[in-house]
């Protein structure tokens, strides 16, 4: 039993260290597409949490945002996270679809104010604002 606890402790410590290293390396990435990809899910979760408390966001959008956050933090996935490259793919696809759905009914200024990173990534996600003449 002691060996099992030791192995579990070492595995947990290695996992925590790898998470810390990923955050450190992601923060040192140069500006560009790779950095935006690394920031994508955390930015979506942060924006969703902010928008869920905003009074201008309709109830159906708040429900979609809640589902997006729960999908990301849920330990149950369609594709296991340990699979390289495709592991987080179900999270990304679900969050993109739910954010696009919610963004249709949220005022663009509110959405942009809640987005914590480069707004160009959000515009890629939901599409550019219509021109003023439309």
pLDDT attached to residue 133: 45
pLDDT attached to residue 34: 63
Contacting residues for 22 by C-beta, under 8 A, at least 6 apart: none
In this structure, what are the phi and psi dihedrals at residue 88, rounded to the nearest 5 degrees? -80, 5
Yes or no: say if 64 and 50 are a contact pair by the CB < 8 Å rule.
no
Q: pLDDT (tens digit, 0 to 9) for every residue of the chain, 134 residues total?
A: 788 899 989 988 888 887 777 767 766 766 666 666 667 778 888 888 899 889 989 999 999 988 988 887 777 777 777 776 677 777 778 888 888 899 899 998 999 999 988 888 888 878 776 655 44
Yes or no: say if 69 and 94 are a contact pair by the CB < 8 Å rule.
no
Q: Is 14 helix (H, G, I), strand (E, B) or coil?
A: helix
Yes or no: say if 64 and 98 are a contact pair by the CB < 8 Å rule.
yes
């Amino acid at each position: 039993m002691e060996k099992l606890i030791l192995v579990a402790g070492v595995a947990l410590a290695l996992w925590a260290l790898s998470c810390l290293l990923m955050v450190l390396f992601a923060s040192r990435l140069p500006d560009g597409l790779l950095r935006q990809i690394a920031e994508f899910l955390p930015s979506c979760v942060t924006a969703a949490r902010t928008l869920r408390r905003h009074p201008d966001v309709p109830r159906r959008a708040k429900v979609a945002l809640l589902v997006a956050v729960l999908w990301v933090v849920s330990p149950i996935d369609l594709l296991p996270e340990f699979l390289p490259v495709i592991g987080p793919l179900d999270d990304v696809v679900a969050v993109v679809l739910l954010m696009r759905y919610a963004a249709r009914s949220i005022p663009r200024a509110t959405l942009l104010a809640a987005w914590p990173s480069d707004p160009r990534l959000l515009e890629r996600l939901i599409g550019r604002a219509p021109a003023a003449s439309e």
